[in-house]
Amino acid sequence: MPHPGPDQLALAALPGEPVEPDVAAHLATCANCRAEVASLRHAVDLARADSATESAPPPRVWHAITAELNGELTAPPHAPRARWRRRLVPVVAAATGLAAGLVIAVGAAAPPPAPVPLAQVTLVPLTTTDPRPSGTAIVTEADGVREIAVDVTEPAPAGPYLQAWLIDEDATRLYSLGTLTREPDGTHFRGTFRLPPNLSLTAFNTLDVSAEPFDGDPGHSGKSLLRSSTI
């Protein structure tokens, strides 16, 4: 049979209450449900521990239950045991439902999708000065979002900072990706850039890395250090 509902588990946790045959058979084979009933029974025992008579639990127990349930119960019951048990069932059931909801929520929280590689290119140096720069670029996609990660080694930095660009096949149109971050060793530069959804890597199919001066001009300096083959 399927797992018993919260009300059925709550009744099974109350001492002296009859347990439905199907529920009893399920508890005999399901360790998880037995553990849930044991936990609920422990809560019931705590609620009854300070009461040596047939009366309801002391007010402080019900105040604690009320606080846990955000005020669902507004006053401690003053009733015989049978009525107290009837009132306790929805309280225990509510606690069971809350715990089940938390388990479902945790189980349903799937990890973010891993990036899928779309392309990887080597960056070829355009300068003959030794030591020459080198680098790679990797295009990935995750959950519909594309990113390009650029990793450059420039042993003899040719400018204050390096800029990554996407250019078309004729090198007449450029799209600025952004500035590469200089690593603490001073010769490695890295950057990861999100690509706009409407940017075509068929049109802008080449990655270019340039050395840029601090001149306030956002355009390409014309001093390209590295360039990829077609992405």
Do 170 and 203 belong to one domain? Answer: yes
> CATH number, domain at 170?
2.60.40.200
Do 21 and 69 belong to one domain? Answer: yes
Q: 76: Cβ–Cβ under 8 A, 6 or more apart, which residues? A: 56, 57, 58, 59, 61, 62, 63
Q: 149: Cβ–Cβ under 8 A, 6 or more apart, which residues? A: 137, 138, 140, 190, 191, 192, 193
Q: Distance of CA 3 to CAs 7, 44, 99, 189, Å?
A: 12, 21, 14, 56
pLDDT of the residue at 46: 64
pLDDT at 79 over 50: no
Do 153 and 55 belong to one domain? Answer: no
What digits encode the pLDDT tens for the residues 65-78?
566 555 444 454 44
What digits encode the pLDDT tens for the residues 185-205?
999 999 999 999 999 999 999
Q: Which residues pair with 175 in a beta bridge?
A: 166
Domain C-terminal end among 108, 140, 165: 108
- pLDDT interval class at 14 (50, 70, 90): confident
- pLDDT interval class at 29 (50, 70, 90): confident
Domains of the chain: total: 2
Do 122 and 215 belong to one domain? Answer: yes
Predicted structure pTM score: 0.54
Note down the domain range covering 150. Answer: 116-228
Question: Does 1 fall in a domain?
Answer: no
Do 190 and 98 belong to one domain? Answer: no
Task: Report the range of poorest mean pLDDT among 155-159, 185-189, 206-210.
Answer: 155-159
The strand pair at 181-182 and 188-194 is best described as antiparallel
What digits encode the pLDDT tens for the residues 87-98?
555 555 555 555
Greater pLDDT, 227 or 48: 227
The answer to whether the CB of 153 falls within 8 A of the CB of 134 is: yes
Average pLDDT over residues 28-50: 73
If one counts every other C-beta atom within 10 angstroms of the C-beta of residue 39, the result is 15
Do 89 and 125 belong to one domain? Answer: no
Question: What mean pLDDT, rounded, does the chain reach?
Answer: 79
Do 217 and 127 belong to one domain? Answer: yes
Closest alpha carbon to 89 in 156, 9, 150, 167: 9
What digits encode the pLDDT tens for the residues 88-145?
555 555 555 555 554 455 456 678 889 999 999 999 999 888 899 999 999 999 999 9
